[in-house]
Amino acid sequence: MIRTEPAVFVRSAGRKADFIRDDRPMVVFAGKSNVGKSSVINCLLGRKNLARVGAAPGKTTNVNYFLVADSLWFVDLPGYGYARRPQAEIDRWGRLMEDFFAESERISFGVQIVDGRHSPTALDQQMSALFGGCGCPWAVAANKWDKLKKSEMEPNLARIRQVLDLGEDILLVPFSAEKRTGRDELLGAISARV
């Protein structure tokens, strides 16, 4: 299992010139706004508020880099799909993601975070296609799992797998950043690839 300490915030990049490029493996976290990307990162790293958990959705509009145990990067991508954003900001997000995924050979492992309660959105599907198309190993975390009824669990997992068109080889982890459900499983998957 990878070491998760110490973890430090290093940089917030708003343009490609500021992306961090070095030889350390990069684990990339993506998902729609407010789905809990920052919370999942905090949970994996065993920290309370290293990646800032936003009160207002859509707050993380830059690519945020965290250096873990001096040996790998955790990268918090800006969230997508928050409805009430100005078009200019949505366009900026699109360009930033395009620039980021243009260098996708640098991604050692991708973690797509979806809301375990709901069917994935069209933007979630696009995100899956980006990870699937870039050739990097990746996994999906169905977050906020603590909010599901028992009877919803199996059907929701099946629906997420189907809507995102995940092959059987793609790991889908029920996750709760709040209860730490799925933490060991996801850390294990990351550890195997970095």
Residue pair 29/54 in contact by the 8 Å Cβ criterion: no
Residue pair 119/159 in contact by the 8 Å Cβ criterion: yes
* Smallest distance from ligand GTP to CB 193, Å: 22
Beta carbon nearer to ligand GTP, 21 or 149: 149
Residues with Cβ within 8 Å of 59's Cβ and at least 6 positions away in sequence, in order, are 52
In angstroms, the CA 10 to CA 97 distance is: 19
Beta carbon nearer to Mg ion, 57 or 137: 57
Which position's Cβ is nearest ligand GTP?
A: 79
> Does 60 participate in binding Mg ion (rule CB under 5 A)?
yes
Per DSSP, the three-state class of 91 is helix
Question: Binds 116, which of ligand GTP, Mg ion, none (CB < 5 to 8 A, cut-off by type)?
Answer: none
Q: Can you tell me which of 13, 28, 29, 38 binds Mg ion, judged by CB under 5 A?
A: 38
> Does 42 participate in binding Mg ion (rule CB under 5 A)?
no
Beta carbon nearer to ligand GTP, 106 or 144: 144
In angstroms, the CA 159 to CA 162 distance is: 5
Q: What is the DSSP letter of 73?
A: E
* Smallest distance from Mg ion to CB 45, Å: 14
Q: Which of 57, 53, 52, 74 is nearest to 65 (CA)?
A: 74
Beta carbon nearer to Mg ion, 37 or 106: 37
- Report the interface residues with Mg ion, using CB under 5 A: 37-38, 60
